[in-house]
Structure 1
Amino acid sequence: MRRPHRPQGGTATRAGLPAPPVWLRLLPVLYVVAVLLVEPATPVDWPVSFVLIAVPLVTAFAHGPVVVGAATVFAIVLEGVLAGTPCCAGRSVGYLWDRHYVASYVCTALVGVLGTLLAAHRIRRERTLADVRFVAEIAQRVLLRPVPHRIGNLLMESLYLSAAAEARIGGDLYEAVPTAYGVRLLIGDVRGKGLLAVETAAALLGAFREAAHDEPDLPALAGRVETSMSRRATQLGGNETAERFVTAVFAEIPAAGRVVRVVNCGHPPPLCLRAGEVRELDSGRSAPPLNLGVLVGDPYHVDVWPFRPGDQLLLYTDGVTETRDAAGAFYPLLQRLRSWGALSPRELLERLHEDLLAYSGSRLQDDTAALAVCLLPEEASAPAPAG
């Protein structure tokens, strides 16, 4: 089962080459054993030892050039032993230097050379892939920095799942920034895929992280991010970029108040989990997605919702609700949340991750990001008295 990608703090280290599966490493041995078991039972006219020619290639799947070279020498020697043993297959004499067997030795040597080159090429490609993964991991840490597990009286966790098994970054994004106005949250989904979507996500996050400390309210914050995205689209030019947009939710939880303020820009509405109840925070007054607001010109609307101690806020991208099962049915997020009961942010996202993979048969159709924030009860958020 694939684990969720959770960006963590600390220094990234370059990973070594992935170890092949045990069965693949043992495949040459199993192959030779099978030949030795079958050889005595076959007629002289059917020398099974000829299939030892494939040993170098079988070895090249999981081992390096040195091991492949050693396997080649072993295969040639074993072919000679089997050919020169009179008792094999009822022979009265050996055929060590018979021209057919000599041709087998030569062919095995040639295949061994090819297998050695193949193993060297495979290792070189694996090292390149390991370097690419390492760079992608660094880019992930820069783009999606780990959210703090606790800010004041708020507990929070993040989740990122990539639809591609080897992918690390994409167009889904999230952020949590403590400011003088409270903790400001962002979750978004860039239209499209590929490098341009990653660049758009990076630009949006950079604008949000800067503006979150300066703008006094959420409409101004959303407007400033909108301006930044429109400016970037103009600079890049091209029809494809002009059509690219980002759905997003901006949320603010003030330090003193017991409310959450939300500005929705065409994104799935946040959910509030409270004592077994799950409620969509949706007033029906969503603004257009970012980079499309200039086409409408309507001001951003702020929705204010109660957010009491013990409540939990879940922000997510449409990769969650658009996950399909084998029959094509969409993932029933609200139904699942109501059935799970009270969970901490970490437990909630771990359960969500496992359930999404189980529901889709580990075949996610889209990238998925989620951010869970819980307001601690008064007794849990208050500092412990000094001894």
Structure 2
Amino acid sequence: MRAPSAGRTTAERGRPRLLTVFLPVLLLAGGAVLDYNTSPHFSAEAFYTAAPMTAAALLSLRATVLAGVGACAVDAALLAHFGFLDDSGGRSELAAVATVSALAVIVNRLMYYSDVRLQSARAVALAVQRAVLPEPPAAIGPLRIAVRYRSAAKDAQIGGDLYGVQATPYGVRCVVGDVRGKGMEAVKAVDVALGAFREAAEEEPSLVTVAARLERALVREAERRAGIERIEGFVTGVLAEIPYSGDRVSGDGLRLVNRGHPAPLLLHEGAVHCLEPSEPALPLCLAEPGAEEGRTDTVVFPPGATLLLYTDGLTEARDRAGVFYDPVVALTGRAFPAPDALLDALLADVGRHAGGRISDDMVLLAVTRGR
């Protein structure tokens, strides 16, 4: 991510609208016309001070300096026209305009350096996200894969949601989970869970034992916490396994273990099936020590079908009337050429439903079986 160009604010780095660019000029021109056509004792000083301050907030350093110089020049010209330039009141007004113009330059610089720090923080957050949640490959064997992560916090890049995709001796294994809580403690739990998943997915013969390895790692991490987080911390998650050989899916198709997480969806030929677990299981960190919670469910995964894993940020998005978003209803009867297209359409749809207000982090992971 590149740092912002020197001397430019956030608004300027976009493509500023014509009105934004000429707003200081309009303020100066409007003030001059008003000043010229009214009583000599009326002053448009407010217009002259507003022009450089507007430029400071919206435009570059050069534009701010020009607006300040222009404000002083216009005010001096009007004071001279009415014979007040050598008057103490006129000099006081001109000094006030010059002072505000100088302050506008300082404000512009402060906003610029604040913007630089924000861009730097965003770059660091993005680097952390890429380290903790690396982008999965676009394809593994016969499977095409896409993922989207949206944080509820403005300018944040990572939160308490997690995902992982890995090619293993047992097939492609995936995990999507949601850590209770926010902040750095949640990020630590995400890191621990994904580290345990990457190791266990290579070694454990079943998804139930993979989930058990995740649980043990998260319990150890929770024991290092203090206060209520040590007692009430937990992670919901769903694990998926798709065996394949060469360029074909093999075995019985799709296997799932759900630990208290929203049920995945299977999309095929316009139909959407909700893959509820055959037996409910507790979230990770809430099971009895040594117990192997969760049952492996096997689901037919036909050619052209797409598995959609997600966190509850999707289904808990509400519209202004408080109605939750229902992805089953939204996706039924629709076809998508690729998993990327599905996720982009889903994000756009839930954004419209919620009016752009995202109240929780959201992970979407789609895996499509080739035909």
Return the TM-score normalized by structure 1: 0.87
Task: Give the alignment of 1:1-387 within 5 angstroms.
Answer: 13-14=2-3, 16=5, 18-20=10-12, 21-22=16-17, 23-49=19-45, 51-65=47-61, 67-85=63-81, 94-255=83-244, 256-294=250-288, 297=291, 299-377=293-371
Provide the rounded CA distance (Å) in 2 between the counterparts of 1:135 and 1:165: 15
Q: Deviations over 1:112-136 (max 9, x none)?
A: 2322222222112111111101101
Provide the rounded CA distance (Å) in 1 between the counterparts of 2:310 and 2:189: 18
Greater Cα shift, 317-326 or 35-44: 35-44
Local SS of the residue matching 1:364: coil
Greater Cα shift, 50-59 or 274-283: 50-59
The 1:111–1:359 alpha-carbon spacing in structure 2 relative to 1, beyond 3 Å, is same
Provide the rounded CA distance (Å) in 1 between the counterparts of 2:326 and 2:228: 36
State the 1:324 CA deviation. 0.5
Structure 1 unaligned runs (5+)? 1-11, 87-93, 378-387
Question: Does structure 1 retain, via aligned residues, the 8 Å contact 2:3–2:116?
Answer: no
State the 1:107 CA deviation. 1.0
Aligned length: 359
The 1:241–1:64 alpha-carbon spacing in structure 2 relative to 1, beyond 3 Å, is farther
CA RMSD, aligned part only?
2.0
Specify the alignment match of 2:247 in structure 1. Answer: none
Q: Deviations over 1:218-242 (max 9, x none)?
A: 1111100110000111123432233
The 1:105–1:208 alpha-carbon spacing in structure 2 relative to 1, beyond 3 Å, is same
Specify the alignment match of 1:9 in structure 2. Answer: none
The 1:13–1:146 alpha-carbon spacing in structure 2 relative to 1, beyond 3 Å, is farther
Q: Deviations over 1:62-115 (max 9, x none)?
A: 2455543443333222211111125xxxxxxx3221221100111122222322
State the 1:310 CA deviation. 1.4
Q: Deviations over 1:255-300 (max 9, x none)?
A: 1224111110000111111222211111341321111123693533
Provide the rounded CA distance (Å) in 1 between the counterparts of 2:155 and 2:104: 27
Provide the rounded CA distance (Å) in 1 between the counterparts of 2:86 and 2:333: 75
Question: Does structure 2 retain, via aligned residues, the 8 Å contact 1:314–1:371?
Answer: yes
One-letter amino acid of the counterpart of residue 58, structure 1: T
Question: Does structure 2 retain, via aligned residues, the 8 Å contact 1:230–1:291?
Answer: yes
One-letter amino acid of the counterpart of residue 297, structure 2: D
State the 1:193 CA deviation. 1.4
Question: Does structure 2 retain, via aligned residues, the 8 Å contact 1:42–1:48?
Answer: no
Provide the rounded CA distance (Å) in 2 between the counterparts of 1:14 and 1:284: 51
Structure 2 unaligned runs (5+)? 245-249
Provide the rounded CA distance (Å) in 2 between the counterparts of 1:316 and 1:345: 13
State the 1:177 CA deviation. 0.2
Task: Report % sequence identity.
Answer: 37
State the 1:345 CA deviation. 0.9
Specify the alignment match of 1:91 in structure 2. Answer: none
One-letter amino acid of the counterpart of residue 241, structure 2: E
Greater Cα shift, 293-302 or 264-273: 293-302
After the TM superposition, which parts of structure 1 deviate over 4 Å for at least 4 consecutive aligned residues? 12-17, 64-67
State the 1:204 CA deviation. 0.8
Local SS of the residue matching 1:159: strand
Local SS of the residue matching 2:163: strand
Local SS of the residue matching 1:282: coil
Greater Cα shift, 49-58 or 276-285: 49-58
The 1:53–1:276 alpha-carbon spacing in structure 2 relative to 1, beyond 3 Å, is closer
Return the TM-score normalized by structure 2: 0.91
Greater Cα shift, 113-122 or 191-200: 113-122
Local SS of the residue matching 2:203: coil
Question: Does structure 2 retain, via aligned residues, the 8 Å contact 1:266–1:287?
Answer: yes
Provide the rounded CA distance (Å) in 1 between the counterparts of 2:36 and 2:139: 70
The 1:271–1:193 alpha-carbon spacing in structure 2 relative to 1, beyond 3 Å, is same
Provide the rounded CA distance (Å) in 2 between the counterparts of 1:165 and 1:310: 36
Question: Does structure 2 retain, via aligned residues, the 8 Å contact 1:275–1:342?
Answer: no
Question: Does structure 2 retain, via aligned residues, the 8 Å contact 1:50–1:79?
Answer: no
State the 1:34 CA deviation. 1.6
Local SS of the residue matching 1:184: strand
Question: Does structure 2 retain, via aligned residues, the 8 Å contact 1:24–1:61?
Answer: no
The 1:296–1:243 alpha-carbon spacing in structure 2 relative to 1, beyond 3 Å, is farther
Q: Deviations over 1:309-363 (max 9, x none)?
A: 1111111111111110111001121111103235421111111011011111111
Question: Does structure 2 retain, via aligned residues, the 8 Å contact 1:172–1:369?
Answer: yes
